[in-house]
Structure 1
Amino acid sequence: MEVAAVTFANGGDDIGVHVPVFSTAGIRGMSVYAAVFLVLVAAGCLAGKYFATRPVSAKALARWGHVLLPLVLIPIGLLILIEGSAFGL
């Protein structure tokens, strides 16, 4: 239940991004977006299952995951902002 609540609460910013993208993409573009999304979700699930079922990586992620996740997500977010010219650079 907690995961669903966080996912729902986190969705507001997604609406602001996806509505303009999908309204201009057309059927063909939306089909490509949907296919890529589904493939990447499946790849993420398979990677998560793989690493979670390996004792060494599962133990390391349980111990250091709360540190590693921000170290991965913050640079990705900054890259997206910079590449999208969000800072007016």
Structure 2
Amino acid sequence: MVAQSNLCWIYLHLRQKGGAGKSDPLFINSKGMTLNRTYFIQIIKEIIESLGLLSDGYNGPSFRIGAATTAAKVSCQMVITALVSE
């Protein structure tokens, strides 16, 4: 679990004001829908391609590996465990 102090307090305030509970998804799109993996990867690929880069190497596993590597560097064991178990 991410410590609340590490998250943008404005985002958390707006979520709470909008009726989101503590167990609701953290990230939502502009329509209030859950930001799922498929949508996340689609948007990231569009951004990469808009920069004139190839997006073929970016997928779910590559993001999980990158996130696990970053979490390991900052000693975030809970995140590593969650990513590896997927």
Alignment TM-score, normalising by the size of structure 2: 0.30
Larger radius of gyration: 1
Kindly indicate which of the two structures has a greater share of residues assigned to helix. Answer: 1
